Amino acid sequence: MLISISSYAQEIIPEVITGKVLNAANDQKLQNVHIVNLSQVVGTITGKDGNFEIRANVSDTLYFTYIGYKPLKVRVTNDWKKFGDVKIKMTELGIALEEVVVADVQLTGYLEIDAKRIPIYNNYRYSISGLNSGYEGGSNQPGAVNKVLGAIFNPADFLYNIFGKRSKELRKLRKMKKDDEIRNLLETKFDRATLMALLQVERLDIDEILRNCNYSSDFIKFANDLQIMDAISECYEEYKVLDRK
């Protein structure tokens, strides 16, 4: 009983802190900035006036991302919690857009004919009873079944190194999957920045994790951050099952 009471007394419940996000060059208020508390795994966005509220403890790290601006990490301090209304200034980046090639597809208006002309990514998933996820198949993955068995009986060294050393960060994925606000934020993002900050890995590491989990190059390239998060989370849960066995 004493141990339980002591543990409960030491638990710190995050309080709501407030702030405002501005453009560092002209102090313009930034709306819809994505903010994630990497320590508590909760998220929010800024309103029309650049204001935001989020639950945090002292020393928690807040991660700010906004299209066209440099991502920013900010540590919560005692002064912030005491006085509130801290101004966070983000620096704008110059973005060079890559050339986009649009394939010319002539449509006739007849569904049966047009369906054959439009390119389709023929990816589907194999699943095995007892595991949390499956593996992609299709024309791009003709040996998917063999890959399933190979992944089960020969766990990749890369996943062992990544998952074994970052179990604390990966456990946060469970909390992120349950936070509707974070899921809504990630659904609109494709840059992997928030996931990189949370997992403490580089973009290439995230791609390599997914490749070792037998996700296709199409999925790795075109999936949004929410889909990527769910894929890594499922792979990690499966890894733990195999590791225990």
The pLDDT tens digits for 132-142 are 445 454 445 54
95 lies in a domain? Answer: no
Q: Is residue 201 part of a domain?
A: yes
- The residue among 125 and 167 whose pLDDT is bigger is 167
Q: β-strands 15-23, 86-90: how paired? A: parallel
Q: Do 157 and 72 reside in the same domain of the chain?
A: no
Q: Domain check: are 64 and 125 in the same one?
A: no
Contact 88, 29 (CB under 8 A): no
Structural domain of 58:
9-90
pLDDT in tens, 195-230: 999 888 899 999 999 988 888 888 999 999 999 999
d(CA 178, CA 56): 18
What SS3 state is found at 55?
strand
With respect to residue 4, please indicate whether it lies within any of the assigned structural domains.
no
Q: Which of 157-161, 187-191, 218-222, 237-241 has the least mean pLDDT?
A: 157-161
Task: Please check whether residues 135 and 239 belong to one and the same domain.
Answer: yes
Q: Which tokens is 113 given?
A: 């004919």
Mean predicted lDDT score pLDDT of the chain = 78
Q: What pLDDT is recorded for position 108?
A: 59
Distance CA 26, CA 32 (A): 18
Same domain, 117 and 37: no
pLDDT tens for residues 43-69?
Answer: 999 999 999 999 999 999 999 999 889
pLDDT of 150 strictly over 60: no
The count of structural domains within the chain is 2
Q: Is residue 1 part of a domain?
A: no
Per-residue pLDDT band for 105 (boundaries 50, 70, 90) equals low
* Other C-beta atoms lying within 10 Å of the C-beta of residue 183: 16
Quick one: 153 and 204 in the same domain?
yes
**Region of poorest pLDDT, from 50-59, 79-88, 107-116:** 107-116
Read off the pLDDT of each residue in 163-185 and give the average, rounded to a whole number.
Answer: 84
Q: Are residues 115 and 228 in the same domain?
A: yes
Half-sphere exposure of 93 (CA within 13 A, CB side): 11
144 pLDDT more than 60? no
Parallel, antiparallel or unpaired: strands 34-37 and 123-127: unpaired
Same domain, 86 and 116: no
Tokens of 13: 């419940």
pLDDT exceeds 80 at position 177 = yes
pLDDT number for residue 63: 95
- The confidence score (pLDDT) of residue 115 equals 59
Q: Which neighbouring-strand residues pair with 34?
A: 45, 65
> 110 falls in which pLDDT band (50, 70, 90)?
low
Q: What is the pLDDT confidence band of residue 238, given thresholds at 50, 70 and 90?
A: confident
Same domain, 14 and 49: yes
Task: Evaluate whether residue 104 is within a structural domain.
Answer: no
CATH number where 35 lies: 2.60.40.1120
Kindly state the percentage of the chain with pLDDT values over 90: 37
Range from 20-34, 112-126, 195-209 that averages highest in pLDDT: 20-34
